[in-house]
Chain A
Amino acid sequence: MNKIIQINLAGQAVSIDEIAYQSLSHYLQTLEQHFANMKDGKEILADIESRIAELFFGKIKKGNSFINKQDVDEAIKLMGTPEDMGIEDDEPNQQKNYTKSTAGRKLFRDTEDRVLGGVCSGLGAYLDMDTSLVRIIVVLLIIFTGIPLIAYFVLWAIVPEATTPNDRFRMQGGNTTVNDIVNNVRTEATDIARTVKNEANNVAENLKKNSNLKQSGSSVVNGLEQITRFFAKIFGAGTLIVLVIVGVALSIFLLANATGGLTLNAGDMDVVTPSILRSPTLNWIFSISLLSLVLIPIGTLCYAIILFIFNMDVRLSIKAVFLSWLLSLAIFIGISIYSAGDVNVKSFKEFGEKIRNSKFKLGDNDIYYDESYKLESDTSKQDNPNDSITTPEIKKDTSLAELQWL
C-alpha cells in the first residue's frame, strides 16, 4: 500500500501519497531549475506552488481524503511544462543558463544501506564513490589517527536522514557546484535590491493616494526585514570565519597534542609542544574529548550560520548534537579526574623556558624527539623515572607524529 505523507505546500498542509509526492516534487524541481537563473524565479515558483495548493485544496474539499497521482498529473497538465512558462523570455541567453544549472546534490545519511548511521553510504552517494571504499578509508583513518571518529558522530548528528523518495533523489542527484551557491547568493542580492525598489515605489504611490496605509506599512516592514536579513547574513559570515579559524587552531593544537606534539621552528632547532598528560593513551583520549567538547558547539553554530546564509531548510537534530556533546563532556570529566596527577607540568615549564631563552635545552618529555635528537638529549634527561616503561609506546607515537606534523 502506498504511504500517505503530510507535506507543506505554500503554507498549506497537504496529505499526499508517496508516488504522487514523488512526481510533484520532481515537477517542482524541474520548475526550480528552469527558473533558477531568472530574476523573479522564486516569486513565480511561489505563485505556481500556491496555485497547485489551491487546486489540491479543491480536491480535498470534494471529498478526496488525500492527493493521488492522478490529481498531481491533472495539476501539472493545467500548469504546463517549463517550456510553456518560458515563452515570455526576451533574454535569449537565458535559455542556455537553464541547462547549465543542475539539481543540487544534498548530503544525506543513507539509512537503507548502513552499518551504524549511514554516514559512509551517504558520503559515498555525495562524492560519487563506492560505499565500501569510503568505509575502508574511514576505518583506516580511525585506526591510524582517530580523527574521523568525532567527525563520524558529528555527521551522524547533523546530517539529515534520507527519509522520503525526494530526499533519496536529492542525495543522488546532479552535481552541486560552487556555481549554484554563487547563483543563490546573486539572486538573493538582486531580490533584495528589487524588493527595496518596489516597496519604495509602493509606499510612494500609496502615500499619494493616501489610502492603504496599513498595507504600505507592512510592506516597509517587509523590506526592512529583508535588509536586516541581508546584514545579518554578512555578520553571520564574519562570525563563521572567526569560528572556523578558532576551530581550526584548536583542532591543530589538540590533535597535535593527541598525536605527539606540534613541531615549532624556533631558531635553528625545532621545538616540540609539550603534551598535556604524560601517558600517551590518556593524553589521546583527553585531547579528543576536549576537542569534541569544543568543536561540537562551534561546528553546530557554523552549520546553523551556513544554513541561514544560504536559506537552506534547517534540519538539525539538536538532541543528537546535545547527546554527543554530553558524551564528550562525560569522557572529558572522567579523564580529567582520573588523570589529574598525570599532568605533565614539567614539560610545560620546560617548553616555556625553551621558548623564552631559546637555549634548546631538551626537556624530559622525550616522546617527540626523532632519533637524532635523542642522542644529543640523552645526557639531559636523567630525571625521568617513567622513561624505561613507556619507551615502546613512545616509539610508535613518534612515527605517527612524524607522519602528521613533520
Chain B
Amino acid sequence: MLHTFVAIVQDRPGVLTRVASLFRRLNVNIVSLTVGHSEKPGVSRMTIVSEASPTAGHRIMASLYKLENVLQVDDIGQHSSVSRELALIKVAATPKTRSHIFELVEVFRARIVDLAPESLMIEITGVESKIEGLIQVLTESEDRILEISRTGRMVMRRGQHTSRVLDAMRVATSESEAETIPAAEPDTVEEADLPQ
C-alpha cells in the first residue's frame, strides 16, 4: 500500500539524508520524495510516498517524529486532499510526425514547451493517473519517448485541516488585534490505527 506523508522539517544540511536513512533503516521503500521551501522561512516541506503495509503508517510517522529536525508529520491517507505532480516528457518527433502529438497534448491539457527538428518536449501537471495516462498513450501510439523527468507527488489537504494551519490562522487574527499570542498547543496528531 502507498503511504503519503507530508513532513515539515527544519531547513538544515543533512535533513534530507536523515529522512532517507530512516526509511532505509525501517526497510521501507521510498517511491518518490520531493522537498522544497514551505510558507515559513527556515522550514522545508517534504512529501514522501512510500510502499509499506497498511498498518505501518503509525510506525513510520512515530519514527519520523523521533528525528530531531522534524517538526510535524501528516499522514495524508484517506483525507480529502489535492495531489499534483509535474512531468517533462521529451518525445521524438519530426515536423511530419508531430501533429498528432499536438492533439494528444490538447486532450490532456498539457503544454508543448520545446520544439526541435527531431524532438519536442511536453510539460504536464496533474494527478499521477493523468500523467501516466499520457505516457501510456504516447507509448501505444508508437511515439518514441526519449526522456521523462517527474517530480514525484506533492499533496495538500483541502480546507484548513492540520493544526499547524489552524495555528497560522490564529496568529493572523490575533496579530491584527495586537494581543499577546497564546502559546500554540503541541501539534495534535490524528491516528487511524492506534488502539485505544
Asked if A and B are interacting partners, one says: no
